[in-house]
Amino acid sequence: MVKLFEPFSIRTIELKNRIVMSPMCMYQAEDDGIATDFHLVHYTSRAIGQVGLIILEATAVVPEGRITNKDLGIWSDEHIENLTKIVSNVKAYGSKAGIQLAHAGRKATVDGDTYAPSSIAFSEMYKTPLE
């Protein structure tokens, strides 16, 4: 019996099916972490394609914690409007949205200082982070 396309509940969350899109970095945000039309189209098209649960890509909680300058951000109220548009579209097609909160730590490659639990560089190709 195939259950892939049957509704599925996780506590109080009802998914229309068991298809889940894992978070995948797209590196298409504005330099200030704001989602772009690319994100709106990308995630909306997955909802149209009947994905039950869509997890948005690694989304930085602070600017210096991004993998690159093109990572999505959620550290400022300025991010709310475009992220809200994405979630509204995803919901309009019956899908649910989640988000992967992220901090790259010693693997961050943004300009300026990076921060990690210890001041050990990931490799010789990375900056030594501040603690």
Q: Is-contact 127 78, C-beta < 8 A?
A: no
Q: What would the pLDDT profile of 40-93 be if each residue is shown by its tens digit?
A: 999 999 999 999 999 999 999 999 999 999 999 999 999 999 999 999 999 999
DSSP 3-state percent helix, strand, coil across the chain (nearest 5): 25, 20, 55
- pTM equals 0.91
**Domains of the chain with bracketed CATH:** 15-107 (3.30.750)
DSSP reduced 3-state for 42: helix
| Average pLDDT taken over every residue of the chain | 96
Of the candidates 52, 55, 45, the residue with the CA atom closest to the CA atom of residue 6:
52
